[in-house]
């Protein structure tokens, strides 16, 4: 059997149902058999980076891996930003690139670049396979590596003559490799529960690893059993409903809430599960760590003690750790009623919430999120990339379910939102899929609107349009006291996104008044095809942020 056919057989065996990519001469043998697959559907991207983001969004929404595939040279190097975006947020996906024939490797031949070496720092593992007989074993190992431990992307580079080699292969005798999940130490989990019960003001920190482990319900059950307050990292959004009586909210120097930051700073013990203590979450570490002890549970050993001093570190799968924590809690105490401090969370959370119901025109950006909260059902999947629009999204959007808020957290990738929304919609066709982005971010990956239109993927793109690279404008203004190179307007305005969207075949509408927002959302949701809403907002609205949790600058 030709290696190209073997590759597709293994992809099918590993459960791949969606492939996002762009064909080319160096990968066409694999594409021949992709085209014959009854299981895998291919979606034609317009930029290789967009293909990886779509595979990323597909996985975040469903938990199932997808394939990103392209040819060699600049096509392969265009994968790098998407791979980095997935890697830092721990998203597993399989990337396959075509390559020149083996005899041309290392000779600067046409479109012959060492993508395995280039992508290695932003992948869990990479391979350039030069021995055809090794392809089945390497592909199986690639899937195991992507899924096991801290998940992440992997890349396999296939020279053209390797794809065309004939090897003995029996699909019925080849199976996916087993995935191991590290078990927690019972003594350590018992000690963690003891510390929680002894603490005066403990908090639980729900990280993105809880969602990756499929353990959000277990986390909430444990929190409810001991009536422990829950703080979410940005990547943990949706792990507990925004209005759950134990949910304090986000903390952080950008997406953090005033109540969340205040509540955290009053804590004395933090149990973080599936988090990595990123700098936008912690801010200045002396403020973040002062006066409190930390218990850290993570599947990746190198993350424990890497950033915050750890009183107790437990290397374990988040789901298995939560099983053990709940069992240990039940062994030593009946369900605990909430303390006065915990009982007051819903009231104080509401009292300290930032205002969003502004009425003026031009529309205050906050109002856009206010109306999205009111219109879209809890099952709606939102994607967002970077900029003030993403930070406002984290501050204002009310997310009630896991796997419905897909953000480029660690990378902050402009343009991630649109192709990720396409992938998410394909993975969950019954859910609304909404990309929330700025006008600057839309310019990065707008071509992927063609992928949505060609394949009839009815996403909604909400452009919060202020005519600026607004996060950079705000940084220039307050950190350096100047403004340069951030104004996106020209000829009295900017890009006409409605005409642009219509040229792709999408529905488009411009919104200029706050009372028009919900009717526009409704028309976009019911139009039956991709839709772009160009929402014109106040140009120079600033966003609350700061350098430390105790020094967040608020703006009216």
Report the pLDDT averaged over residues 510-524. Answer: 98
- Phi and psi dihedrals of 407, rounded to 5? -120, 145
Report the pLDDT averaged over residues 391-410. Answer: 98
Determine the pLDDT at residue 491.
Answer: 84
Hey, which residues does 18 pair with through a beta bridge?
41
Residues 205 and 310 in one domain: yes
Let me know if residue 555 belongs to a domain: no
Secondary structure letter of residue 38 according to DSSP: S
Let me know if residue 356 belongs to a domain: no
The domain that contains 383 carries what CATH number? 3.40.50.970
Residues 195 and 150 in one domain: no
Determine the pLDDT at residue 493.
Answer: 85
Let me know if residue 409 belongs to a domain: yes
Determine the pLDDT at residue 160.
Answer: 98
Say how many domains are in the chain: 3
Report the pLDDT averaged over residues 217-240. Answer: 98
Residues 331 and 479 in one domain: no
Q: What is the per-residue pLDDT across 372-381, written as a single tens digit (0 to 9) for each?
A: 999 999 999 9
pLDDT over threshold 90, residue 206: yes
Q: What is the mean pLDDT of the chain?
A: 97
CA dist 156 and 159 (Å) reads: 10
DSSP 449-469: HHHHHHTT---EEEEEE-SB-
Let me know if residue 553 belongs to a domain: no
Of 351, 376, 401, which residue is a domain's last? 351
pLDDT over threshold 90, residue 498: yes
Question: E strands, 213-346, where?
Answer: 230-232, 247-250, 269-273, 293-298, 312-315
474: domain range? Answer: 365-547
Let me know if residue 321 belongs to a domain: yes
pLDDT over threshold 80, residue 480: yes
Determine the pLDDT at residue 105.
Answer: 92
Determine the pLDDT at residue 47.
Answer: 98
Hey, which residues does 19 pair with through a beta bridge?
42, 67
Of 173, 203, 224, which residue is a domain's last? 173
CA dist 34 and 9 (Å) reads: 9
pLDDT tier at 276, thresholds 50, 70, 90: very high
Report the pLDDT averaged over residues 329-357. Answer: 97
Residues 242 and 270 in one domain: yes
CA dist 298 and 209 (Å) reads: 8
Determine the pLDDT at residue 308.
Answer: 97
Determine the pLDDT at residue 192.
Answer: 98
Residues 394 and 511 in one domain: yes
Let me know if residue 244 belongs to a domain: yes
Q: Are 209 and 239 in contact (CB under 8 A)?
A: no
Let me know if residue 181 belongs to a domain: no
Determine the pLDDT at residue 294.
Answer: 98
Residues 56 and 87 in one domain: yes
Q: What is the per-residue pLDDT across 118-160, written as a single tens digit (0 to 9) for each?
A: 999 999 999 999 999 999 999 999 999 999 999 999 999 999 9
CA 473 vs CA 103, 466, 488, 554: distances in Å:
50, 11, 11, 16
Those residues with Cβ within 8 angstroms of residue 382's Cβ, 6 or more apart along the chain or in another chain:
376, 393, 397, 399, 404, 405, 406, 434, 435, 436
pLDDT over threshold 80, residue 556: no
CA 1 vs CA 94, 168, 177: distances in Å:
22, 6, 21
Residues 90 and 137 in one domain: yes
pTM, full prediction: 0.97
Those residues with Cβ within 8 angstroms of residue 484's Cβ, 6 or more apart along the chain or in another chain:
476
Let me know if residue 401 belongs to a domain: yes
Residues 69 and 109 in one domain: yes
The domain that contains 283 carries what CATH number? 3.40.50.1220
Those residues with Cβ within 8 angstroms of residue 215's Cβ, 6 or more apart along the chain or in another chain:
274, 318, 319, 322
Q: How far apart are the first and last CA of the chain?
A: 66
Determine the pLDDT at residue 43.
Answer: 98
Residues 343 and 369 in one domain: no
Determine the pLDDT at residue 252.
Answer: 97
Residues 283 and 213 in one domain: yes
Residues 318 and 238 in one domain: yes
Of 316, 351, 386, which residue is a domain's last? 351
Residues 147 and 282 in one domain: no
């Amino acid at each position: 059997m030709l290696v190209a056919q073997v590759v597709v057989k293994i992809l099918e065996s590993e459960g791949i149902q969606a492939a996002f990519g762009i064909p080319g001469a160096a990968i066409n043998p694999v594409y021949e058999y992709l085209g014959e697959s009854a299981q895998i559907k291919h979606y034609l991207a317009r930029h290789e980076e967009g293909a990886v983001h779509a595979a990323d969004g597909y996985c975040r929404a469903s938990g199932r891996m997808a394939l990103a595939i392209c040819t060699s040279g600049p096509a392969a190097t265009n994968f790098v930003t998407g791979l980095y975006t997935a890697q830092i947020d721990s998203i597993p996906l399989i990337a396959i690139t075509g390559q020149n024939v083996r005899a041309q490797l290392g000779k600067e031949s046409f479109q012959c670049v060492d993508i395995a070496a280039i992508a290695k720092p932003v992948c869990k593992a990479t391979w350039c396979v030069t021995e055809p007989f090794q392809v089945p074993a390497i592909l199986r190992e690639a899937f195991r590596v992507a899924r096991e431990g801290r998940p992440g992307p992997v890349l396999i580079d296939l020279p053209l003559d390797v794809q065309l080699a004939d090897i003995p292969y029996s699909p019925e005798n080849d199976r996916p490799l087993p995935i191991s999940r590290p078990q927690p130490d019972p003594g350590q989990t018992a000690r963690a529960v003891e510390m929680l019960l002894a603490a005066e003001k403990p908090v639980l920190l729900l990280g993105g690893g809880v969602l990756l482990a499929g353990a959000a319900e277990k986390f909430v059950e444990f929190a409810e059993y001991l009536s422990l307050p829950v703080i979410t990292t940005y990547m943990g959004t949706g792990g507990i409903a925004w209005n759950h009586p134990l949910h304090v909210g986000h903390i952080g120097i950008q997406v953090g809430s005033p109540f969340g930051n205040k509540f955290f700073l009053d804590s004395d013990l933090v149990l973080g599960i599936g988090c990595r203590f990123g700098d936008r979450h912690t801010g200045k570490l002396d403020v973040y760590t002062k006066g409190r002890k930390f218990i850290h549970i993570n599947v990746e050993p190198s993350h424990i003690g890497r950033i915050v001093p750890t009183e107790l570190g437990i290397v374990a799968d988040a789901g298995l750790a939560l099983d053990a924590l709940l069992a240990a809690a039940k062994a030593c105490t009946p369900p605990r009623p909430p303390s006065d401090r915990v009982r007051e969370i819903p009231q104080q959370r509401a009292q300290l919430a930032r205002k969003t119901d502004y009425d003026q025109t031009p529309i205050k950006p906050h109002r856009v999120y206010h109306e999205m909260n009111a219109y879209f059902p809890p099952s709606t999947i939102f994607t967002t990339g970077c900029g003030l629009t993403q930070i406002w999204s984290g501050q204002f959007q009310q997310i009630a379910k896991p796997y419905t808020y897909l953000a480029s957290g660690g990378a902050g990738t402009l343009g991630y939102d649109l192709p990720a929304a396409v992938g998410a919609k394909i993975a969950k066709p019954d859910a609304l899929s909404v990309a929330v982005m700025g006008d600057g971010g839309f310019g990065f990956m707008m071509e992927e609107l063609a992928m949505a239109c060609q394949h009839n993927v009815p996403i909604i793109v909400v452009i919060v349009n202020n005519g600026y690279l607004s996060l950079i404008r705000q940084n220039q203004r307050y950190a350096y006291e100047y403004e340069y190179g951030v104004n996106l307007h020209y000829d009295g305005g900017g890009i006409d996104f409605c005409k642009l969207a219509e040229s792709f075949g999408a529905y488009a509408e411009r919104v200029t008044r706050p009372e028009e927002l919900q009717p526009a959302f409704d028309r976009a949701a019911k139009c039956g095809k991709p839709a772009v809403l160009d929402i014109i907002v106040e140009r120079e609205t600033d966003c609350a942020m700061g350098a430390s949790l105790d020094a967040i600058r608020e703006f009216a």
